[in-house]
Amino acid sequence: MRASIARAVAALVFTALLGLLTTSASTLAQTAASAPVAAVPRVRLVATGGTISNRTGGRLSAEELVKSMPGIERYAQPEFEQFSNLASSELTLDQWVALAKRLNEIFKTEPDIAGLVVTSGTDTLEELAYFLDLTVRSDKAVVVVGSMRNPSTLGYEGAANLLEGFRVAASADARGKGALVVLNDEINAAREVTKTDALRLNTFQSRGYGILGVVDADRVAFYRTTLKRHTANSEFDIASVTKLPRVDVILVYQGADGDLIKAAADAGAKGIVIAGAGAGATSGTQQAGIDYATKKGVFVVTTTRAGSGRIAAGRGGRGRGGANGPPPEDIRRRIAGEDLAPVKARVLLMLALTRTTDPAEIQRMFTEY
């Protein structure tokens, strides 16, 4: 009798416990189902073309590029739009202006966009990236990506670069760091990076400065930031710009003739960037060409062809004067290019000339940007 009672009590206890456990499991499942899922950031691709799209038989569209990224939904809500589909060398300066205006419009009208990714051909990627660094007036990420191999080539790295670009654009840590260039698992500042090899995958490097960070399997890791003015802190408002002024780049080489500088001035150049030897030296009759250009009101910026190094005020003839030198007003049109590469000095001078023709103001811009 006692055994029967004990078994009955045990059965009742078991049934009660089972009901309690079932109810708890059901409650937990309902709570999990009703809990909001953390949304990943919205990131939009604005595709311009380049090798990353240049498939044999026809270029990949922005939509096809987005679909080529496995696992993108873990990091971002991907969106896309096709701005153009050209080789980078075929993009015009007018298209640069239109692109910057479009990116500014997206940030202004869609405040919940976390960042933008722009595809570009690698040949002139560093120039476009720096232009966007100066003209996109938002602290949200603008990431420029490309690839060295085309989609029809064994070892095509475009999808990997694009995925990493989306990851960087979605990262809160990328905010406020200016336009970024992401290729080969590395993050570089648009102002500092340059293409250093015609073919190798590790071509984009920031000589003397180093990378800003890396994109690894676990996370996007930043190590430093750039101190120069850019993006949200830029004074260059592209909204009212319809045409960029002509600025030419002329290389210094042994025995170079100054007639090329004179020809650029006569052809309507508003500015000329001299890619000087060493710390800004000219050769042949180039100094006479510079004197001719500055007398015509052309601004001449001295940079170095060496690949790195800073040009300080007074180099490249800027300090000449006196009885045998050009008059002071001409000297003032000679601008020290600081540490900018010649092609990037051209970008900054074009934008500077949309705002001012005051030599002191232009020199200030080269110091601050």
Task: Provide the mean pLDDT of the chain.
Answer: 90
Residue-level pLDDT at 314 = 73
Residue-level pLDDT at 16 = 46
Residue-level pLDDT at 26 = 44
Q: Which domains does the chain have, with CATH numbers?
A: 42-233 (3.40.50.1170), 246-368 (3.40.50.40)
Residues 14-50: pLDDT tens digits?
Answer: 444 344 434 444 443 343 344 444 699 999 999 999 9
d(CA 70, CA 271): 46
d(CA 267, CA 269): 6
Question: Sign of dihedral through CA atoms 205, 210, 213, 215?
Answer: positive
Pairing, β 141-145 against β 113-119: parallel
Which of these is catalytic: 48, 51, 124, 294? 51
Instruction: Say whether 15 is catalytic.
Output: no
Low-confidence spans in the chain with pLDDT less than 50: 1-3, 5-6, 8-10, 12-37, 316-322
d(CA 115, CA 117): 7
Residues 216-271: pLDDT tens digits?
Answer: 999 999 999 999 999 999 999 999 999 999 999 999 999 999 999 999 999 999 99
Q: pTM here?
A: 0.88
